[in-house]
Amino acid sequence: MEKPIFITPEFAVTSALAPEDFAAAAAMGFRSVLSNRPDGEAEGQLSGRAEAVLCWQAGLQFRHVPAPKLDIFTDEVVEAMADAVASLKGPVLAHCASGLRSAIAWAAASARTQNVDCVLKALDKAGFDLEFLRDDLEAQADRARWIGPRAPALDCAEAAKLETASAA
pLDDT for residue 161: 56
Non-local CB neighbours of 46 within 8 Å, separated by 6+ positions:
16, 17, 18, 19, 54
Identify the pLDDT of residue 156: 59
Alpha-carbon separation of residue 134 from 10, 21, 115, 139, 161 (angstroms): 23, 33, 11, 9, 23
What pTM does this model have?
0.86
Of the candidates 110, 101, 34, 114, the one whose C-alpha atom is nearest the C-alpha of residue 72 is: 101
pLDDT in the model for residue 152: 47
Helix 75-87 and helix 134-147, axial crossing angle in degrees, nearest 10: 80
The CATH number assigned to the domain with range 5-167 reads: 3.90.190.10
Per-residue pLDDT in tens (0 to 9) along the chain, 168 residues: 899 999 999 999 999 999 999 999 999 999 999 999 999 999 989 999 999 999 999 999 999 999 998 899 999 999 999 999 999 999 999 999 999 999 999 999 999 888 899 999 999 999 999 999 999 999 998 887 666 555 444 555 555 554 455 444
